[in-house]
Amino acid sequence: MTSPSPTSSSSSRLGALLMAPVNALMRLIDVPLRGLQKSTGIGGMAAFFLAPNMLIFGIFVLLPLVINFVYSMTGGTAFFLAERNFVGGEQYARLFTCQNYLDPMSCQEDAFWTAVGNTFWFVILQVALMILTALITALILNRDLAARSFWRAVFFFPVLLSPVVVGLIWKWILQRQGLLNFILFQFGDTEPYTWLTDRTWTFAATIGVSIWAHMGFYALILLAGLQAIPKDLYEAAEMDGTKPARVFWRITLPLLAPNLLVVVVLALIRAVQIFDEVYVLTGGGPGTSTLYLTQYIYETGFASALRNPGLAAAASILMGSVLVVLTLIQLGIGRKNENKGKR
């Protein structure tokens, strides 16, 4: 047994000195807390400790949600609730007045249904492509590459950029006199292509740009999952002469499933909420081809001279409902997986 060195004993004295005020404070708090526990029981103590969080949640999440719902039941152009008239479900009825939901132009609020359709296709395509690229990137970055840390930083870098910066960078690249047309011109294409005024290209651009901007984040989550898979499983498969594709389907993918689920849910929610970089890149145009739900809500509530806060609130309640459903699905699948694991 060795005696403690003079350095370690002096550092422990310093630690005790630093902790003295904390300990004194704890002793001070201990007395009323013991009293409280005696009178309320263990359950009461839990409520006591949860109260500050619940208060913050109530003020900053629940209350705005309720106020938003109340707004959706009012009409007029005024912003103050007191100056608005109760119109019941009129705003919701207006949103749902439609001859054919698949043809937005047959709806009273055609822009809303256009935004719903655009958002639906955006979510389907963007999430699928995002997960695919993030998975491929994570698989590559998990290999023994030269300068692996550098490549990981390269793929993660766009995540650090502000969405406005992302939008502007790609606007400069894709506009008529932008970098892409300049490069194409060098290869002999004389007519500049109008990437941002063509409906199909612009829609594709919003998907591509959002994948570029966020893929690094999801790749990082998947990379963490890949690194957590025990190496001996791969060694055993190698010894058995299992083909790489079979290893991927039978070992990598099943063990990566929890991470993939997180990525799918996060990517879905983020995709439904898409706004900032697209707003800067295309402004929702050409026409309304890249008008997504959040921009519709923003324009309807705040930006347009035809603004209607009640209608915007109703649309945001509907969008919030979709997000709640997505979250519940995530929780359900998560619990199912957890139960499977326990069995």
With binding defined as CB under 8 A, does residue 93 bind another protein?
no
Task: Give the binding-site size for another protein (rule: CB under 8 A).
Answer: 39
Which of the stretches 240-248, 289-297, 315-323, 328-336 binds another protein when contact is defined by CB under 8 A? Answer: 289-297
Question: In this structure, how many other beta carbons lie within 10 angstroms of the beta carbon of residue 165?
Answer: 14
Cβ nearer to another protein, comparing 212 with 296: 296
Cβ nearer to another protein, comparing 258 with 285: 285
With binding defined as CB under 8 A, does residue 102 bind another protein?
no
With binding defined as CB under 8 A, does residue 78 bind another protein?
yes
From 283, 318, 330, 333, residue interacting with another protein (rule: CB under 8 A): 283
Cβ nearer to another protein, comparing 84 with 152: 84
With binding defined as CB under 8 A, does residue 290 bind another protein?
yes
CB of residue 292 vs another protein: minimum separation in angstroms? 10
With binding defined as CB under 8 A, does residue 110 bind another protein?
yes
CA-nearest of 277, 317, 270 to 297 is 317
Residue 228 tokens, joined: 């957590």
Binding string, residues 160-199; x marks residues near another protein by CB under 8 A: ----------------xx--------------x-x-xx-x
Cβ nearer to another protein, comparing 244 with 287: 287
Cβ nearer to another protein, comparing 77 with 227: 77
With binding defined as CB under 8 A, does residue 79 bind another protein?
yes
Cβ nearer to another protein, comparing 175 with 242: 175
Which of the stretches 80-88, 135-143, 147-155, 324-332 binds another protein when contact is defined by CB under 8 A? Answer: 80-88
Report the half-sphere exposure of 46 (CA within 13 A, side-chain side): 3
CB of residue 103 vs another protein: minimum separation in angstroms? 12
SS (H, E, C) the chain: CCCCCHHHHHHHHHHHHHHHHHHHHHHHHHHHHHHHHHHHHHHHHHHHHHHHHHHHHHHHHHHHHHHHHHHCCEECCCCCHHHCEECCCHHHHHHHCECCCCCHHHECCHHHHHHHHHHHHHHHHHHHHHHHHHHHHHHHHCCCCCCHHHHHHHHHHHHHCCHHHHHHHHHHHHCCCCHHHHHHHHCCCCCCCCCCCCHHHHHHHHHHHHHHHHHHHHHHHHHHHHHHCCHHHHHHHHHCCCCHHHHHHHHHHHHHHHHHHHHHHHHHHHHHCCCHHHHHHCCCCCCCCCCCHHHHHHHHHHHCCCCCHHHHHHHHHHHHHHHHHHHHHHHHHHHHHHHHHHC
CB of residue 18 vs another protein: minimum separation in angstroms? 23
Cβ nearer to another protein, comparing 191 with 232: 191
With binding defined as CB under 8 A, does residue 303 bind another protein?
yes
From 282, 312, 313, 315, residue interacting with another protein (rule: CB under 8 A): 282
Three-state DSSP at 5 gives: coil
Residue ranges in contact with another protein by CB under 8 A: 75-80, 84-85, 87, 105, 110-111, 114, 176-177, 192, 194, 196-197, 199, 282-291, 295, 299, 302-308
